Amino acid sequence: MPGTSKKNVKRPNTPQNQKCKRKKGGRTSKKAKKGVSPEIWQALLLTAVLIIVSVAVSMVALGIKQKGQPVAVSGVLPEVAISEIAAPENVPAQDIPAREAVAATNPPQEKQAPAAAPKPSQKQTPVPVPKTAAEKTTATRPETRQPAKTSTVNIPASVGLPAVPPEQPPKPKPRQQGTLVFVIDDAGNNLQELEPFLRFPGPLTIAVLPGLPHSAEAARRIRAAGKEVFLHQPMEAIGGQAPGPGAIYAGMDTAEIVDVLNKNIAEIGPVAGMNNHQGSKVTMDQQIMETVLAFCREQGICFLDSRTTAETAVPAAARNLGMKIGERAVFIDNEQDRLSMDRSIEGGLTRASQRGNAVMIGHTWSPELAPLLAGLYQDFIAQGYVLATASKLIN
C-alpha cells in the first residue's frame, strides 16, 4: 500500500513464509550469538558470583538470628564452573529456546543484564551449602560444636619473633679467703687527718687517744660515720717514751688502774673495746694485764693486743681469765710510702688466707693510707675477703 512502511506489512502465514522465517531467525541467532562481546560474559559471571555470595551471607544471617549463637562460616565459596554460566559458542541454533531466539533479533547493546536476586527475607528458606563447603566449615549447629581446647602452640623460629638470648649461667662466687680487720690508731690529735678514714666504704675500727684536745669530738664523729670506736689506752713502754695523758704505768696498783680506765672511757665512750698505745713494758706484766682484762670483762668490751713486744703477757692473762682477745698481725705504715704499705697489706691478705683472719693496724697521721685502703676495697671484696670490725672478730 502506498505510504505504508515495509516493516508494518503483515505477510500471510503460509508454509513458505514460515520456512523463510525459521531460516532468517536461525541466521539472526547465530549472528547475535557470535556477536556477543567478552564484556557481557564477564558481567554475567560477576552477577552469578554476587548472587552466590548474597545467598551465602543471607543464609549465615538467618542462621545466626534463628539459633541466637555465633556460626562459623567457611571462607570457601561453592565452586561454580564457568561452563555453567557461559554457553559454548558453537551451540546449534535449534538448542536455543524460542524466547532466546526472539531476544537475539534485537541488537546486542539492547540486551539487558539479568536482574539481581532479591534480598532474602526472614521467611525464606536458607539455601543448602554444598557438601564440599560444609566439609570445610566448622560445625555450626549447637549440638555439633565442641568446646575449644586450650593447648600450647609451639611457634617456629621462622615466624620472625625476636630471639630470646640464652640465659647466662651465674658467675661463680669467689672462694672466701678470710676476714680482714683494719684498725686506725692515734685519733684525737687532728680532726682533718681523721676525715678521710670516715669516708672509707667498709667497716673500720678507729682507736682514739684520751686526754687530747679533739679526743671527745673525734669519738663523736667516728660514731656518726658508722665506724667503730676503741679506746687507744696509753701504756708505759720499755724505752721510756712518754705515752701521753691517761696512761697506765708499771708501778700502779689495781685501784689506780681501774680509776684511769674509768676516766678515759667517760671522756670518749661509749666504746666497743680498747687496745694498747705503746705499752711494751706494761703488757709484759701479766698481773697488770689481768687487771685490765678483768675491767674490760666487767664493762662488756673487748681487748685487742697491739703486740708492741714479742714478750707480751696478754695471751697468758686472757687464758687465766677465760677470755678471748684479738691480736695484731701486721703494722701497715711502719714505712709510710705507698709501695711499702701495699706490701704490708699483701702480707696481711696472705695471713688471712692461711689462718682465717688478719688484724692490720695503721695510723691517722699516714697521709697515703686512707686513699690506699679506699682504692683496694673493691679488690678485697672481689678476691673473696670479708671486712669486719675488731669487736665482731673477737666476739
- Residue 316 falls inside a structural domain: yes
Question: What pLDDT, on the 0 to 100 scale, is given for residue 154?
Answer: 59
Residues 214 and 318 in one domain: yes
Single pTM value for the model: 0.58
- 69, 202: one domain: no
Domain count, the chain: 2
Domain extent at residue 269: 178-394
Model pLDDT, residue 137 = 45
Residues 205, 87, single domain; the answer is no
Query: In the listed set 101, 118, 135, which residue is the last one of a domain according to the structure?
Result: 118
Residue type, 112: Q
Is 211 a member of any domain? Answer: yes
The segments of the chain whose pLDDT lies below 70 read 1-36, 63-166, 169-174
pLDDT score of 152: 54
